Amino acid sequence: MGSLFDRRVISGLLLLDKPKGPTSHDAVLWARRVLNTADVGHCGSLDPMATGLILLVVGETRSKQNQFMAERKTYRGVIRLGLATTTDDLDGAPLPGSFPRKPADLSAAEIEKALGSFRGPVSQEVPTYSAVKWKGKPLYHWARKGVPVERPVKEVVVHFLEMTGYTPPDVEFFVDCSKGFYVRSLARDLGASLNVGGTLAALTRESIGAYRRSDAYPWQDRAPLQKDLFEKSFVPIEKLPD
- Cα 19 to its chain centre, rounded Å, is 12
The catalytic position among 17, 26, 47, 221 is 47
Residue 98 to residues 148, 175, 196, Cα–Cα distance (Å): 22, 28, 8
Closest CA to 81 of 48, 52, 114, 50: 114
- Cα 190 to its chain centre, rounded Å, is 18
Using CB atoms within 10 A of its CB, is residue 196 exposed (0-12), middle (13-18) or buried (19+)? buried
Query: Is 47 one of the catalytic residues?
Result: yes
Closest CA to 148 of 160, 164, 135, 166: 135
Integer Cα distance of 115 and 204 in angstroms = 19
Q: What residues act catalytically?
A: 47
